Structure 1
């Protein structure tokens, strides 16, 4: 080996080591972002289940960080809440002290949302400025940050729907807000997974990657349906399983005209379709697992399909318990968190078929 070749090899190894270190730093940052997003989704679920989402009736992105600090400020905040229909129609006997219990949930949710923005933006600037973020990932990460900013506006758009004529937020806006949150989470998972080491196992079948994509898509659609159920408070109705209103296929599914409105406005129809979505997702994951195990049982792809099937089964069990027990706070939050875990793992499983991002070392070869 010539001196030039040896120097080039050493530089190559140094570049690979630097890329690995940088990728570990970015993965750790994104992992912390994912943890913060997970907590945010759990608190958001608790905020919804406790009916706290309309307790703060003004959008103050900066000043809103500071909660009421004395009795006068608490009374002022309570007076604002007393102006909306939720108070007059549902909570007219509420006192300032009981108002505080719902205020703190919404305040914590908004504070966490602001914190996620900082947890994402500040390290992004630092890692970019110090050259730790690869060129191919810079604008995708900026896109995720922009999506997070849009989510703030969507959150207020959702809240505003319950301040004038309704006693709760619009189920359409709630579903939009939740789906965007899950897409932000999925984007971070996708990038983080691409920066992680991959094995060289081939896909079990030529359709495995496509099937993984379908599963992730169906999981997201199921989350959208779950948000409609939450927005219509349909989880507190028809609390039996496997029957719904005494039948496998109940009556009264198409009472609204035109018929398609039932898919969004009829609590029974929305809950029924959400149940069907769960069965479809479970069947898809089971078929994917069986095919993968038969074709290539020793591959990491097949082992991931088994874990995904287990997660979906656990989530189905949590969903059934949540329904039958009429949505206790702890189980309702667990069901929402479980949805995030299933969807995040489904996205990571799909991303695993693409392999690790190529490592682009910049080697200067002498003459």
Structure 2
């Protein structure tokens, strides 16, 4: 059953509104935690920490190693994988502990997100404060969160294969895409609870035709960025706007069949990310300028201006990350702001929603 914020509610309107706002604030809090989780994931990838824990222990893994023997056991496990032999050989137990703590924090934060969702969900449910029609969606969100943990381990496991020092780019993109889907659903549901009315001004009608493809380009650029991260493609072609002196890099279609270039060819993957980001940026800036000119002051105008601003910031961060050859702190910031771009795109789409037709008498 789809969630309808206008569904009949047996509670008085003031009580129903309080419940909607309380649930929305909770969902926004969880969305903020997912945002931090994405940032932590970027940091673990950029520092090579993601493969430091070779066990998936959802319960016992909550506690870090509490004895020297346990530290040594985990370190000995790590020394069996190619990343240690090819990248970190001889960095000792102290070096292992440095990469371990970041990955452990990443996994612990995921467990905290689960608790931050499950416990309030039970409380709202038992007290009858879940808005009408929302229960199926909340259950789906909880299941998606659990699936994200399993997909995360599926991704990490690929890094233990004999010929790898990092995880599979395909699995990394699936993991990132599921996190963005979860974040997007949380944000959209919260906005629908806070703003159930569809009150976009009449001037918004032509803007909708541009807003949807721009949002689609934003998502495609983010997923393309996942392949850039997975292939470490940002370590090559560190010039802008040309790539090795060319607009389209040599070797763009080197691999056969051609579709493999879209996900496995460093030159093509980086070029595609640049192209999609540029198109999304131009579209977002056009939307912001158009909205500032024709829309009255209000939620829709504010959302479009925010989208233009955060996209411009993200594009600048992307260029700086490339030119500086992906320092870990800047790469993490770039990945984090990408989630802000998604939030702004969703806020714009939500504020521009088409008004529901008025039923005939």
> Do the two structures share a fold, i.e. TM-score over 0.5?
yes
Q: 2: CA distance between counterparts of 1:327 and 1:136?
A: 45
Matching of residue 24 in structure 1 with residue 11 in structure 2:
no
Structure 1 residues 197-216: Cα deviation after superposition (integer angstroms, max 9, x where no partner): 45834252434334323222
5+ residue gaps in structure 2? 1-8, 357-361
Matching of residue 269 in structure 1 with residue 235 in structure 2:
no
Residue 47 of structure 2 corresponds to which residue in structure 1?
A: 50
Q: 2: CA distance between counterparts of 1:13 and 1:98?
A: 60
Choose the corresponding residue for 1:169, options 161, 164, 167: 167
Structure 1 residues 99-148: Cα deviation after superposition (integer angstroms, max 9, x where no partner): 00111111111111111111111111111111111121111111111111
Residue 39 of structure 1 corresponds to which residue in structure 2?
A: 36
Residue 212 of structure 2 corresponds to which residue in structure 1?
A: 213
Residue 176 of structure 2 corresponds to which residue in structure 1?
A: 178
Aligned alpha-carbon RMSD (Å)? 2.0
Residue 121 of structure 1 corresponds to which residue in structure 2?
A: 118
Q: 2: CA distance between counterparts of 1:14 and 1:139?
A: 20
Matching of residue 64 in structure 1 with residue 85 in structure 2:
no
- Pick closer, same or farther for the CA change 1:13–1:88 going to 2, 3 Å: closer
Residue 3 of structure 2 corresponds to which residue in structure 1?
A: none
Paired residue secondary structure (1:195): helix
The Cα of 1:52 is off from its aligned counterpart by 0.6
Residue 250 of structure 1 corresponds to which residue in structure 2?
A: 249
Residue 341 of structure 2 corresponds to which residue in structure 1?
A: 342
Q: 2: CA distance between counterparts of 1:179 and 1:210?
A: 25
5+ residue gaps in structure 1? 1-11, 358-367
Residue 361 of structure 1 corresponds to which residue in structure 2?
A: none
The Cα of 1:159 is off from its aligned counterpart by 0.6
Structure 1 residues 125-180: Cα deviation after superposition (integer angstroms, max 9, x where no partner): 11111111112111111111111111111101101111122111000000010010
Paired residue secondary structure (1:200): coil
Q: 2: CA distance between counterparts of 1:13 and 1:77?
A: 56
Once the two structures are overlaid, the 10-residue window that deviates more, 296-305 or 127-136, is 296-305
Number of aligned positions between the proteins: 346
Greater CA radius of gyration, 1 or 2? 1
Residue 331 of structure 2 corresponds to which residue in structure 1?
A: 332
- Maintained 8 Å contact 1:195/1:356: no
Q: 2: CA distance between counterparts of 1:73 and 1:94?
A: 18
The Cα of 1:14 is off from its aligned counterpart by 7.8
Q: What are the within-5 Å matches in structure 2 for residues 1-367 of structure 1?
A: 15-165=12-162, 166-197=164-195, 200-354=199-353
Q: 2: CA distance between counterparts of 1:89 and 1:71?
A: 25
Q: 2: CA distance between counterparts of 1:73 and 1:140?
A: 41
- Maintained 8 Å contact 1:204/1:299: no
* TM-score normalised over the length of structure 2: 0.91
Structure 1: 4+ residue segments shifted above 4 A: none
Structure 1 residues 189-229: Cα deviation after superposition (integer angstroms, max 9, x where no partner): 00000111458342524343343232222211111100100
Paired residue secondary structure (1:204): helix
* TM-score normalised over the length of structure 1: 0.90
Paired residue secondary structure (2:217): helix
Structure 1 residues 74-114: Cα deviation after superposition (integer angstroms, max 9, x where no partner): 11000100111111122112201000011111111111111
Q: 2: CA distance between counterparts of 1:178 and 1:14?
A: 39
Paired residue secondary structure (1:93): coil
- Pick closer, same or farther for the CA change 1:330–1:131 going to 2, 3 Å: same
- Maintained 8 Å contact 1:253/1:268: yes
- Pick closer, same or farther for the CA change 1:294–1:115 going to 2, 3 Å: same
Once the two structures are overlaid, the 10-residue window that deviates more, 109-118 or 14-23, is 14-23
- Maintained 8 Å contact 2:303/2:347: no
Paired residue secondary structure (1:280): helix
Once the two structures are overlaid, the 10-residue window that deviates more, 253-262 or 184-193, is 253-262
